[in-house]
Amino acid sequence: MFVNRERELEALGSAYKESKAQFIVIYGKRRVGKTELVKQFFKKIPHIYFLADKSPEKEQLRLLSEKVGLFCNDQFLLSRGFGNWHDFFTYIKDKGRVVLAIDEFPFLIEANRAVPSIFQKGWDEGLKDSGIFLILLGSSIGMMETDVLGYKSPLFGRRTGQLLIEPLSFWHAKKFFPGISDDDFMYIYSVLGGTPAYLLQFDPAADLWTNIRKEIFSHNAYLFSEPEFILKEELREPRNYFSIIRAISMGKARASEIINETGFEKNVVGKYLSVLTDLRIVKREVPITEKSYEKSKKGIYMLDDNYFRFWFKYVFPNKSFIEEGETDYVIKNKIRPELDLFVSQTYEEVCRSFVKKGLPRGLKFNKVGRWWTKDAEIDIVGINEDDNAILFGEAKWSKKPVGINILSELKTKVEEVRWGNSKTTRHFALFSRKGFTSEMMKAAEREKVLLFRGIERVG
């Protein structure tokens, strides 16, 4: 099943129609669908696809030679192979419109740190004037942004296009489960997030708990050890990163709290958090009204991957129970009692995404996030600097309708927000899983407050 990515496919198709040489960089976290994207693009296009690995450089060049030899039906190349990268570039530049995709390009860089310089020379001295359609893919986002796209990289300025492949949004991910309600899918999305490879593991015909037992708690299941596998694949000291992620999953959001929980030195924690941020496993947030993201002292750290959040909160600390087959105990005593609280964080994120897409009445906000102080927090704050407008909102994943008290509390907190001036236009929006009381509905109509049941407009 292939969902969404129309914009990316259109970009690749448009580039392919141009006669000039193309150098496309595609990157994003593991399992997000980069390889599947190029496979969809390749469907009716002759191509060479090469998946790099952790083999020595000489072995990888031999395997690439074999791929090229098969594509070009060149028996000499199949038997002898390229002696070096210069031979490869010299050969391929004379083959016309060749589509060549090299997946997991960072592995080539790990095998030889000079690879970016080698490819830069190959591009400048021949490929840029050929018919090549070169695609470099990578899951190590930090390496792709530094060693391929970064201004200090030898390859800087050579690309003709780049695509950062993000996890699927709530609305696109739901296409994997077309028969269920938004509310029911919110639970699935809270567990799996928008990673296509994870969404494909769950059976749309089974309920949440059946899927968790079978696809997460089973020893032979794809998802059972997935976070461990990714961290071991990406990192040299996975155990220490486990400690950092576990601390964040326990609610230790500030750097000082993470330091106290793990016992690591401040500079060590800073390094680990930087790496995890590059991998899009962790994200740093600051109140949306802060003037400087980098300099803000109010930054907190959150897990940026729903499945990692679920796994480190419920699987990792309960592995001894799961290993002994006590899955019902874990579900009954560890997950069920607090699942709605766990899902509420995802619901807030989905509501913020909804605001980013645009609201009724033509309301648009170019910056959307959260706001907080030591004593107060607002779930949704949208800012439109051009229109001097700000939106304040709350998202409640509660089991009862939201009453007027939530609006009153929001208005009280708003008075502490320092943004705008006397001419700033204020808007209010409330999102509620179970709708609103009649009193709240009347107040919303009177005060022009936007109301949403789930993520659907009310009234």
The side-by-side arrangement of strands in the sheet containing 456-457 is 367-372, 377-384, 389-396, 425-432, 450-453, 456-457
Question: Which pair of structure tokens corresponds to residue 152?
Answer: 């200090």
Question: Hey, what amino acid is at 413?
Answer: K
172-342: CATH, from 1.10.10.10, 1.10.1200.10, 3.40.50.1100, 1.10.260.40:
1.10.10.10
* Per-residue model confidence (pLDDT) at position 360: 87
**CB neighbour list of residue 306: distance below 8 Å, 6 or more residues apart:** 189, 190, 191, 192, 193, 194, 346
Supply the pLDDT for residue 38.
Answer: 95
**How much is the pLDDT for 1?**
62
d(CA 280, CA 196): 16
Query: Strand 99-103 and strand 133-138: pairing?
Result: parallel
Q: Which pLDDT score is estimated for 237?
A: 82
For residue 402, the model assigns a pLDDT of 97
pLDDT score, position 459:
64
Let me know if domain 358-457 sits in CATH 3.40.1350.
yes
Bridge partners for 256 per DSSP:
none
pLDDT of residue 235: 85
Query: For position 458, what pLDDT does the model report?
Result: 82
**How many helices (H) and strands (E) would you count in the chain?**
22, 13
By residue count, the chain amounts to 459
Domain ranges of the chain: 6-164, 172-342, 358-457
- Residue 51 has φ and ψ, to the nearest 5°, of -100, 110
* Distance of alpha carbon 128 from the chain centroid: 32
What pLDDT, on a 0 to 100 scale, did the predictor assign at position 4? 76
Instruction: Please say whether the beta carbons of 137 and 104 come within 8 A.
Output: yes
Look up the CATH number of domain 6-164: 3.40.50.300
Conformational region of residue 96, where left means phi above 0, alpha means psi within -120 to 50, and beta covers everything else: left
Question: Tell me, what amino acid is at 110?
Answer: E
Q: What is the pLDDT along the chain (459 residues), one digit of tens a residue?
A: 677 789 999 999 999 999 899 999 999 999 999 999 999 999 889 999 999 999 999 999 999 999 999 999 999 899 889 999 999 999 999 999 999 999 999 999 999 999 999 999 999 999 999 999 999 999 988 899 999 999 999 999 999 999 999 999 999 999 999 989 999 999 999 999 999 999 999 999 999 999 999 999 998 999 999 999 999 888 878 889 999 999 999 999 999 999 999 999 999 999 999 999 988 999 999 999 998 888 899 999 999 999 999 999 999 999 999 999 999 999 999 999 999 999 999 999 999 999 999 998 889 999 999 999 989 999 999 999 999 999 999 999 999 999 999 999 999 999 999 998 989 999 999 999 999 999 999 999 999 999 999 988 886
372 vs 50, 140, 300, 335, 406, CA distance in Å? Answer: 48, 32, 11, 28, 16
pLDDT at 68: 97
Asked if domains 172-342 and 358-457 share a fold, the reply is no
